[in-house]
Chain A
Amino acid sequence: MVGGERDTSLKTNPFLAFQYSIIPTFHHSRSGTGDPPSTLDCVPERSVFMLQVILSLLILSAIGALLAFLLEVADSYLADYGERHVLINEEKDLVVQGGKPLLFTLMEQGIFIPSACGGKGTCSYCKVQVHEGGGPVLPTETPYLSPEELKTDVRLSCQVKVKDDLKIEIPEELFLVKEYRVRVERMEDLTPRIKGLHLKVLEPPEGITFKAGQYVQLEVPKYKRTSGPEYRAYSISSDADQHDRLELVITRVPEGAVTTYVHEYLKEGEELRATGPYGSFYLRDSDRDILLIATGSGLAPIKSMLYQVANHGIRRKTTFFFGARTREDLYYEDQLRQWESELPQFTFIPTLSRPAPEDRWEGEKGRVTDLIQEHLSERPNVDVYICGAPPMVESCVELLTKKGVPEERIYFDKFE
């Protein structure tokens, strides 16, 4: 700063006059001499500098704050899109407050679209079909959409803002996805590696509505292996008619965050959280026979489906191939045998791949694929439901298509 400039501006400028009127006091108190400075010459450079810094910060913040205020006012008027209608699957009409991304708008309405990234547009799980009112596809979405999806109006719901009335299509089952508070009622060792978890749904009071075969995501709290709550998907093995109960079958996975918690830390009476139901693995209506195939904990959704077959008067011929290693791994056997004796249309065929001598096993030996080879006729009129480890599912699908089962009649759920 040049002294000469300052002098001239001082005469004309009220701001600067004010500025200099306080500096001497400042100086005075610091020096402690008691002599009031008479001229501007003794204004110390440092104080002026400090004042200048404070002043500039003030001015910049004031202008920034003013602009922020204006934008905030504008935003409350302009970003207010009023009430908009979202018509889902041509049947459910929601009235929502416009302006927010579709994903969050639906969440507020209690419709949970799966989303792993929290609406940042990176996980691509939150795809829905937007038939009307979504505007053109945004550049942020195109990397995640295939040409086929573009043709069928698929969008990322976290990127589509609700500005107009929308017509969207989501998988029917997402309507029913909710969050639940559950209490562990009972735990049982089904096999040395598999635990059965009996849960009571505490909240919401109406319980859970799911289709036999679907899964829930079970969340366990932070413990010493994890840095925060973790959740994993588990198929429901209980009867879909029991809305206040959930039964899960959980295989111990070495180093698995959630399974380790369940197997080592979880106590009866503890409360957990779960969301669901998810998944499209459930019985489809048709008049064809039903073939169920499972190994390990893949039995869970199948058991739930069998409750449906038993309790809802499904007369379709139902066969269940269950593969285990030894007799020890064959769980829920009593229940399955009981169904077999009660239901004329149901056949249960377990197979052991490595029966121990003490098992005194007289049933089928080998893998489930061997059962398919032996027991299934060529070009069978059948719907197939397979659940278990991916290699088993893949080899079954291959074998079934070779036998002439059309691919669209094979439904499966792979457990990773």
Chain B
Amino acid sequence: MVQIDPGTLFFAAIFTNNILLTNFLGLCPFLAISREVKPALGLGAAVVFVMTCTAVLNYLVYYYVLLPLDLEHFRYILFIVIIAAFVQLVEMVVERFFPALYYVLGIFLPLITVNCAILGASLFLIIREYTFIQSMAYGAGSGVGWMVAIIAVGAIREKVQKSAKLPRGLEGPALTLIITGVLALAFTAFSGMIQIQ
């Protein structure tokens, strides 16, 4: 078990070990929804919620159900089922209370189900043997980190689209990936502060 206090872990998950910018997980909705800040914020919030909740739930299910019963080999299927149920819940909430956001996110909201960043966070916390509080911090931190990244890229893309005429080869995902790369480089500057594996 690693001895990092949850607060530090939370910030480490955002800055030094950003799940998107260091692990490059969850890229597909990231590329699709980062065109503008507003939908990016919406999707980011949904990911934060799903990631925090599923990290906690998956932790509980893994340590209190699967491990005692010798069923660890079922963790993928159970994690996915729990994540799927949670995304379904989020979709209902968004459809009901934020209809505009629902239409903007479109198919990418249900696709959070198979967002590898979310399953990734749940698996990392098992592999790194975090405690319950640490898992919660890590899940929330990873979610916020993912949101920070998508909002940053969304803001840059919005600016670029408004102010510059792009060469055709750079439009869409091409420039997004370049921006993401630069951002990832910038984020390595944080890595001196603390290291989690």
Verify B103–A136 contact, CB threshold 8 A.
yes
* Interface set, chain A 1-44, CB cutoff 8 A to B: 1, 6, 9, 13, 15-16
Residues of chain B within 8 A of A52, CB atoms compared:
70-71
Question: A55-63, A198-206, A339-347: which one contacts chain B?
Answer: A55-63
* Interface set, chain B 57-94, CB cutoff 8 A to A: 61, 65-66, 68-71, 74, 77-78, 81-82, 85, 88-89, 92-93
Verify B85–A55 contact, CB threshold 8 A.
no
Residues of chain A within 8 A of B88, CB atoms compared:
71
Main secondary structure of the interface of B (DSSP, over half): helix
Residues of chain B within 8 A of A1, CB atoms compared:
70
By size class, the interface of chain A is 20 to 34
Q: How far apart sit A13 and B66, CA to CA, in the bound complex (Å)?
A: 12
Residues of chain A within 8 A of B103, CB atoms compared:
135-136, 138
Q: How far apart sit A78 and B102, CA to CA, in the bound complex (Å)?
A: 14
Indicate with 1 or 0, residue by residue over B19-50, a CB within 8 angstroms of chain A CB atoms. 00000000000000000000000000000000
Highest count of chain A CB atoms <10 Å: which of B61, B70, B71, B77 = B70
Closest B residue to A12 by beta carbon equals B68
Q: How far apart sit A60 and B81, CA to CA, in the bound complex (Å)?
A: 9
Residues of chain A within 8 A of B78, CB atoms compared:
60, 63
Q: How far apart sit A297 and B130, CA to CA, in the bound complex (Å)?
A: 80
Is B7 interfacial (CB-CB < 8 Å)? Answer: no
By size class, the interface of chain B is 20 to 34
Highest count of chain B CB atoms <10 Å: which of A1, A63, A70 = A63
Is A123 interfacial (CB-CB < 8 Å)? Answer: no
Main secondary structure of the interface of A (DSSP, over half): helix
Verify B85–A79 contact, CB threshold 8 A.
no
Verify B106–A139 contact, CB threshold 8 A.
yes
A64-B81 contact in complex given A15-B69, A56-B71, C-beta closer than 8 Å? yes
A79-B69 contact in complex given A67-B81, A70-B89, A71-B85, C-beta closer than 8 Å? no
Task: Select which of B61, B68, B77 is within 8 A of A13 by beta carbon.
Answer: B68
Verify B81–A63 contact, CB threshold 8 A.
yes
Verify B65–A59 contact, CB threshold 8 A.
yes
Task: Select which of B77, B92, B96, B107 is within 8 A of A60 by beta carbon.
Answer: B77
Residues of chain B within 8 A of A16, CB atoms compared:
68-70
Residues of chain B within 8 A of A71, CB atoms compared:
85, 88-89
List, sorted by A's number, 23 A–B pairs whose CB atoms are closer than 8 Å: A9-B70, A13-B68, A16-B68, A16-B69, A52-B70, A56-B69, A60-B74, A60-B77, A60-B78, A63-B61, A63-B65, A63-B78, A67-B85, A70-B89, A71-B85, A71-B88, A71-B89, A78-B93, A79-B96, A81-B96, A136-B103, A139-B106, A139-B107
